């Protein structure tokens, strides 16, 4: 579970909301919940250290768990590169991911394909936001430069 901003918490992606939805999903699927891994206020963009995500991977490696259950794929990552690394890691450790909202299950080739398509959309959202923010910064800088003259 992860929220990266207070806005997400207010708009129904709070950790409490995610936990409730995931518990219902796990009950429906017959999954036993071993632990919760919550990275509050940390973006899933590449380069951010997420201690709970690292603990999750350590527990997979130690065979304490074999399934990651997430509400949406973008709660795990928004990076195509990071996603491919995670799929490889899961395959190497006989583990998989099951997403409640996105209906993604990486035990099948089709599930992996769909996850890659959705990850491309998430990566595009991040890239578009970066471009938009960069353009706004340039406009603001240009405005400041004009005012000084």
- CATH fold for domain 2-148: Rossmann fold (3.40.50)
| Rounded CA separation 126/2 (Å) | 16
* pLDDT confidence band for 85 (50 / 70 / 90): very high
**Cβ 96 vs Cβ 70: under 8 Å:** no
Check pLDDT > 60 for residue 146: no
4 is catalytic: yes
* pLDDT confidence band for 129 (50 / 70 / 90): confident
pTM, 2 dp = 0.73
pLDDT digits (tens, 9 = 90+) for 58-73: 999 999 999 999 998 8
Check pLDDT > 50 for residue 10: no
Whose tokens are 């959309």? That residue is 121
Check pLDDT > 60 for residue 87: yes
Question: Would you list the domain boundaries of the chain?
Answer: 2-148
């Amino acid at each position: 579970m992860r929220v990266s901003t207070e806005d997400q918490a207010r708009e129904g992606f709070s950790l409490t909301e995610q936990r409730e939805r995931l518990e219902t999903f796990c009950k429906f699927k017959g999954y036993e919940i071993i632990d919760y891994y919550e990275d509050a206020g940390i973006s899933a963009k590449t380069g951010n250290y997420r201690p709970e995500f690292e603990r999750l991977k350590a527990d997979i490696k130690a065979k304490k768990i074999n399934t990651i259950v997430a509400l949406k794929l973008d709660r795990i990552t928004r990076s195509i590169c990071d996603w491919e690394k995670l799929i490889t890691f899961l395959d190497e450790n006989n583990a998989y991911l099951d997403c409640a909202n996105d209906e993604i299950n990486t035990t099948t080739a089709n599930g992996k394909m769909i996850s890659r398509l959705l990850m491309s959309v998430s990566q595009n959202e991040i890239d578009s936001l970066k471009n938009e923010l960069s353009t706004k910064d340039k406009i603001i800088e240009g405005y400041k430069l004009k005012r000084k003259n």
